[in-house]
Amino acid sequence: MRWRVIDYSENDAYLNMAIDEAISEAVAKGGAPTIRFYGWNPSAVSIGYFQSLEHEVDIGHCADIGVDIVRRRTGGGAVYHDHQGEITYSVIGKEERFPKDILASYRLICGWITDSLGLLGIKSEFRPINDIVVGEKKISGNAQTRRGGVLLQHGTILHSVDVDTMFSVLRVSDEKIRDKMIATVRERVTSVSQQRNVSRDELYGALLSGFTKGKDFGLGDLSDGERNRALELVENRYLTREWNAMR
Amino acid sequence: MRAEEKVKGGKLVCIELLAEGSTVASVKITGDFFLHPEDAIDSLERSLMGVDLASGESEIAARLKKALGDSQLIGASPDDLARLFRKAVIG
């Protein structure tokens, strides 16, 4: 079946997560496998399905600086999604389209990212479980879920890093080690712009090429059904305290 | 009672326990690990409810493995969780 590629758009955190889920439901009912690119406006923190909201996020500070907080359907860690600093993707298709082995499927999809970065002259590699690194530094984090026979993987590719804001919104268990952790993250995280003088638009162009290489695909948009379902999911799940504070 | 650990080569896992007398009254397992399907977290947590706080690591691990069944825990293992359980109890 032909892939549907949904062009980059920016939404708030709740709608972004709701759209990924609405597409997953549509794919479960026979809809086209989909690759979507998106950004976060306003900037947001997403936390993994199993994470404790209170332990991971400085909720008050996020409110003060206008950073949204949302729980993902996928596991993994808390991520600060800077409005200008990254590009997020989601890949959604029937499970049978991907390797059954979870790590192998991460490797496959992350390979599209390393191919894309390669087009920009950045040599990166997949680092299990779910990261992509340049040398020893992380440039992309990814997370996957499989429900109802559908695989959803989403992830971010860092274009630039604002470590200070990142650490002001994410909670560090021991305040005394905050400075040390910031220094460590500066050493362990990199971004496309730190590697090459490449604009965010150029990064997006490379991602489009890398993700669609060798695939039969067409540019498409959300159906009305998906859009309406996403709006329902925002109200009934992603915006609710029951969901976001459930752990 | 609470214990947290970054599993070697894996993910961060935290166990929080509430006790009533000498048994577990509530359990919360949190962290940046992966579990497929995600709903299996409920079975994992339920499997430790009512357990004697003095239970050994192997008994806890056996309960967790049984509750896990065919679900896939990635970035931590039932043995890691059992070790953390003991760590939380001992304090």
We report the CATH number of the domain holding residue B11 as: 3.30.390.50
Q: Domain residue spans in chain A?
A: 3-239
Q: What is the residue type of B44?
A: L
Single pTM value for the model: 0.94
CA distance B55 to chain A (A): 25
Contact B30 A73 (CB under 8 A): no
pLDDT over 60 at A176, yes or no? no
Per-residue pLDDT reduced to its tens digit, B42-76: 999 999 999 999 999 999 999 999 999 999 999 99
pLDDT band, residue A177 (cuts 50/70/90): low
Q: Are strands A125-127 and A217-220 parallel, antiparallel or unpaired?
A: unpaired
pLDDT band, residue A243 (cuts 50/70/90): very high
Dihedral sign, Cα of residue A169, residue A172, residue A176, residue A181:
negative
pLDDT band, residue B23 (cuts 50/70/90): very high
CA distance B49 to chain A (A): 17
Residue of chain B whose Cα is closest to the Cα of A52: B30
Structural domain for B34, as ranges: 2-90
Which residue of A102, A130, A147 is in closest CB contact with B72? A102
Which residue of B31, B41, B74 is in closest CB contact with A129? B74
The interface pTM score, or ipTM, of the predicted complex is: 0.95
Question: Which residue in A101, A95, A97, A72 sits closest to A146, CA to CA?
Answer: A95
Per-residue pLDDT reduced to its tens digit, A192-242: 999 999 999 999 999 999 999 999 999 999 999 999 999 999 999 999 999
The CATH classification number of A3-239 equals 3.30.930.10
pLDDT over 70 at B36, yes or no? yes
Contact A52 B28 (CB under 8 A): yes
Question: Which residue in A244, A238, A191 sits closest to A17, CA to CA?
Answer: A238
Which residue of B4, B28, B34 is in closest CB contact with A75? B34
CA distance B28 to chain A (A): 8
Per-residue pLDDT reduced to its tens digit, A150-175: 999 999 999 998 888 988 898 876 55
Please state the domain count of chain B: 1
pLDDT band, residue A146 (cuts 50/70/90): very high
